[in-house]
Every structure is written in C-alpha cells, then in structure tokens.
Amino acid sequence: MQVHITAADRRAGVMRSGVKPTANPSVMICMDPPRYGFTGLPSAEHIKAFRVLVSVFAVADTRRRETYCKGACGHAWHNLSAATEQP
C-alpha cells in the first residue's frame, strides 16, 4: 500500500507480468478499487498472482523512485549496495 499504486501502474504491471489480462489475478488488481484476496484464489492461480503482484509493485516502485524519491531519497531499500558473493 505504501507504494501508492495507480491505475496506470496496475495496467502496466499486468502487461509486464506475462499473465493474460483476463486471468483472475490480473482482473482483481485492475479493479477500481483493486480487489485484494489473492490467497483465496485456487492454488493453480497463486503463481499468476505472484507474477502480477511483483510486476505491479516493480512498476509502481520505479515510478516513485523517478518522481517522489528522485535526488534525495531516505529510503534504505532504494540505496542498497550491490550484493557481494560470500564463500
């Protein structure tokens, strides 16, 4: 909820996810207001729901980084150092 997903983010995220726009998770996230309750979907839909949600949140987070957080961001998760391999 903190990423403040817009209707445009939802549509772009569904398109990016590779899940059909007519699939239950796609329809649910694109409703106005979005319908959350993905855990109530049949287990066969859970992977689709995960793909849709991750894609939508990625789109929304990118938008927020480029607008609200651009330049002087204090969010620690926007300033993570590159992962280093541990033996």
Taking only the tens place, the pLDDT of each residue in 7-65 is: 999 999 999 999 999 999 999 999 988 888 999 999 999 999 999 999 999 999 889 88
Dihedral, CA atoms, 10, 13, 19, 25, nearest 10 degrees?
-30
Cα separation, 13 vs 18, in Å, equals: 9
pTM of whole model > 0.85? no
Cβ 31 vs Cβ 14: under 8 Å: no
Q: What pLDDT does 1 receive?
A: 64
- Domain spans, the chain: 7-69
Q: What pLDDT does 26 receive?
A: 96
Is residue 87 predicted with pLDDT exceeding 60? no
Residue with the two structure tokens 């729901």: 49
Cα separation, 4 vs 86, in Å, equals: 35
Q: What pLDDT does 49 receive?
A: 96
Is residue 84 predicted with pLDDT exceeding 80? no
Cβ 24 vs Cβ 39: under 8 Å: no
Q: What pLDDT does 68 receive?
A: 79
